């Protein structure tokens, strides 16, 4: 049977709305002409709002979220600097590995996969650093491997309580534009997002927000970077230009994405993601499975990581869903490999689309002999969506 699209229930890249596909299909135009200068200022202002900032400088680099990580690490820090990070999932681990490859000395606080960032433990390390050798704290807001969202405000309070001046650098790749992100209120110095998550676009743009303090620190290191030089990028954007050839189609679509988020309203975007996630978690409960997140308060509203009983392979569930039903779910990563599967529910996501994903996951599980009742997860999610007081307006069911 021919299927026009492979529905994505992975935590990025996400499903792309038709409106954004059309925005990327426009004819090429001269990025050195006045049109680019007209595009940039309102786009940066809209993006700052999505980051929860009134003062951050917004930059966009052609690259993935990992390029954004490198921008954050390499522009305010130098080889030999000491940073503090928690390892509590695959993406926090990858950020630690990148920092070490860039010549940074990383002090790691270990936490179980399924837990959030232990702000109290970070505070103890910071208080034990009176000479302020630690130059930055690295924090993953939403750990995509485990389906856990950490409290970045608590990390800021730990820094302030210790009287420590370290920069706070935050990975918001799978949270920004989907979950509340309060850059100014949390005192975040650098935040990183990617086009392929809540912005509902293909991979290709690393979106970085820098506080005035981070921008000043980057300016002091000007010339130490090449392609990922934040100061060169910000200076060019401030002038309505770009330091090299930009991905114009993606930037035009990013402006359209920002407009869609504004039209829906950020509060409604966040409420929609919470509402959809509640239905997915209701299905997991009905199946009798456990979340990877060790406490419900930690459970992410953009991705649910589901622990499977012995004898059920997470990789097999994902493979069966893809090969038999043409639907993509996320595999387990790192120490969770083959023990879990992940349902992504961010970006363009509605109740009906989520129900289709839950039904498909349920069929794949039944095909593999999972001890669940047919229809149980779907019925539980339906009840959650039908009866919840926070049910989203039907006109927003397309995602924005």
Does residue 101 lie in a domain region? yes
Q: Among residues 232, 250, 254, which one has the least CA distance to residue 241?
A: 232
Q: Given this model, what pLDDT does residue 18 score? A: 95
Q: Are residues 44 and 176 in the same domain?
A: yes
And the tokens for 95? 């950020």
One digit per residue, the tens of pLDDT, for the chain of length 400 reads 445 456 899 999 999 999 999 999 988 878 888 889 999 999 999 999 999 999 999 999 999 999 999 999 999 999 999 999 999 999 999 999 999 999 999 999 999 999 999 999 999 999 999 999 999 999 999 999 999 999 999 999 999 999 999 999 999 999 999 999 999 999 999 999 999 999 999 999 999 999 999 999 999 987 667 899 999 999 999 999 999 999 999 999 999 999 999 999 999 999 999 999 999 999 999 999 999 999 999 999 999 999 999 999 999 999 999 999 999 999 999 999 999 999 999 999 999 999 999 999 999 999 999 999 999 999 999 999 998 866 555 444 444 4
Q: Are residues 253 and 355 in the same domain?
A: no
End residue of a domain, out of 214, 240, 263: 263
Q: Given this model, what pLDDT does residue 399 score? A: 45
Euclidean distance between CA atoms 163 and 77, whole angstroms: 20
Q: Are residues 254 and 272 in the same domain?
A: no
Euclidean distance between CA atoms 291 and 114, whole angstroms: 8
Q: Given this model, what pLDDT does residue 2 score? A: 47
End residue of a domain, out of 235, 263, 291: 263
Does residue 1 lie in a domain region? no
Q: Given this model, what pLDDT does residue 368 score? A: 97
Q: Are residues 270 and 181 in the same domain?
A: no
Q: Given this model, what pLDDT does residue 388 score? A: 80
Query: In this structure, what CATH number is given to the domain that contains residue 149?
Result: 3.40.640.10
Euclidean distance between CA atoms 26 and 255, whole angstroms: 13
Q: Are residues 218 and 283 in the same domain?
A: no
Q: Are residues 252 and 341 in the same domain?
A: no
Q: Given this model, what pLDDT does residue 298 score? A: 98
Tally the domains of the chain: 2
Alpha-carbon separation of residue 345 from 56, 312, 329, 331 (angstroms)? 28, 23, 10, 15
Q: Are residues 204 and 288 in the same domain?
A: no
Q: Are residues 172 and 317 in the same domain?
A: no
Does residue 6 lie in a domain region? no
Q: Given this model, what pLDDT does residue 396 score? A: 47
Residue 70 exposure: Cα atoms within 13 Å on the Cβ side: 18
Q: Given this model, what pLDDT does residue 398 score? A: 44
Does residue 5 lie in a domain region? no
Q: Are residues 384 and 319 in the same domain?
A: yes
CB neighbours of residue 38 within 10 Å: 11
Q: Are residues 34 and 132 in the same domain?
A: yes
Place of tokens 């109740």: 351
Provide the domain limits for residue 319.
Answer: 265-396
And the tokens for 195? 């086009």
Does residue 255 lie in a domain region? yes
Does residue 13 lie in a domain region? no
Query: In this structure, what CATH number is given to the domain that contains residue 323?
Result: 3.90.1150.10
Does residue 12 lie in a domain region? no
Q: Are residues 295 and 240 in the same domain?
A: no
Does residue 3 lie in a domain region? no
Q: Are residues 153 and 300 in the same domain?
A: no
End residue of a domain, out of 263, 285, 301: 263
């Amino acid at each position: 049977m021919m299927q026009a699209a492979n529905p994505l229930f992975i935590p990025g890249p996400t499903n792309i709305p038709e409106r954004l596909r059309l925005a990327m299909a426009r004819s090429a135009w001269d990025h050195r002409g006045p049109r680019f200068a007209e595009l940039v200022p309102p786009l940066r202002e809209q993006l700052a709002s999505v980051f929860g900032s009134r003062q951050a400088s917004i930059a966009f680099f052609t690259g993935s979220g990992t390029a954004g990580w490198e921008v954050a690490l390499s522009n305010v820090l130098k080889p030999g600097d000491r940073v503090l990070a928690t390892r509590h999932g695959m993406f926090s681990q990858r950020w630690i590995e990148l920092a070490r490859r860039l010549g940074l000395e990383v002090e790691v606080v270990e936490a179980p996969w399924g837990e959030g960032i232990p702000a109290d433990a970070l505070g103890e390390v910071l208080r034990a650093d009176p000479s302020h050798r630690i130059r930055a704290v690295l924090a993953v807001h939403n750990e995509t491997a485990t389906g856990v969202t950490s409290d970045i405000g608590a990390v800021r309070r730990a820094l302030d309580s210790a009287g420590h001046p370290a920069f706070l650098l935050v990975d918001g790749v799978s949270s920004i534009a989907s979950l509340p992100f309060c850059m100014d209120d949390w005192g975040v110095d650098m935040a990183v997002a990617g086009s392929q998550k809540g912005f509902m676009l293909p991979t290709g743009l690393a979106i970085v927000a820098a506080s005035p303090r981070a921008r000043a620190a980057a300016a002091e290191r000007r010339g130490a970077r090449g392609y990922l030089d934040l100061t060169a990028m910000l200076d060019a954007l401030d002038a309505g230009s770009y330091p090299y050839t930009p991905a114009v189609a993606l930037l035009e679509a990013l402006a359209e994405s920002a407009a869609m988020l504004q039209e829906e309203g950020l509060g409604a975007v966040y409420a929609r993601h919470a509402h959809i996630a509640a239905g997915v978690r209701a299905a997991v409960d009905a199946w009798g499975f456990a979340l990877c997140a060790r406490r419900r308060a930690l459970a992410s509203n953009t991705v649910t990581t589901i622990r499977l009983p012995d004898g059920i392979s997470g990789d097999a569930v994902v493979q069966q869903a893809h090969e038999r039903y043409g639907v993509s779910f996320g595999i387990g990563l790192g120490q969770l490999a083959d023990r879990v599967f992940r349902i992504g529910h961010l970006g363009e996501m509605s109740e009906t689309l989520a129900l289709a994903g839950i039904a498909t996951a349920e069929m794949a599980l039944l095909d593999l002999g999972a001890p669940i009742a047919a229809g149980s997860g779907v019925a539980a999610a339906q009840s959650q969506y039908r009866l919840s007081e926070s049910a989203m307006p039907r006109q927003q069911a397309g995602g924005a």
